[in-house]
Amino acid sequence: MEGTVFKYDDNVDTDVIIPARYCTSYHKEDLAPHCLEDLDATFAKRVKPGDIIVAGRNFGCGSSRENAPLAILGVGVGAVVAESFARIFYRNSINVGLPILECPEAAKAAQDGDRLRIDLEKGEIRNLTRKGTYQAAPFPESIRQIIQLGGIEEYVKKRLSHP
């Protein structure tokens, strides 16, 4: 996947990713227009399918709402790269099929507007703008399948239908 970087700082919490006032829905299409609106009011209008959020430490801290990664998916973000993630956000992201990669070096080097290319199988993050290559832990095959199928629900359905 390849996309343009939208760069944010440390401690972007789930209340900023999708404000509580919009958490009446679990449909990513309903959440998308409000993604990050309290942090970056124009984000949902500027982001293009496949673009990449890059952030500092503790991305997704705060409440454990699944609405947050759903909002990010709904707006079309291809992946999130951060120095670190809140653990429940990390798991919720995988469960809904949002690719997230923990790579402090890539997160620190990337700047707003850079172009990144990500290989989930290898865990490789290439900054095409700054000519750097960084290594995140590659996802195991089962997690890549969850992401590819659009989340844990579709993964389980597939596994149950093809024993």
Q: Domain extents for the chain?
A: 2-161
Outline where DSSP puts E strands in 31-114.
52-55, 79-82, 100-102
Query: Residue 114's pLDDT is what?
Result: 98
- Give residue-wise pLDDT tens across range 71-106: 999 999 999 999 999 999 999 999 999 999 999 999
| Residues ≥6 apart with Cβ < 8 Å to 157 | none
Q: What is the fold, at CATH topology level, of the domain defined by 2-161? A: Aconitase; domain 4 (3.20.19)
User: Which pair of tokens denotes residue 75?
Assistant: 């707006």
Give the pTM: 0.95
Question: Helix count (H) and strand count (E) of the chain?
Answer: 8, 7
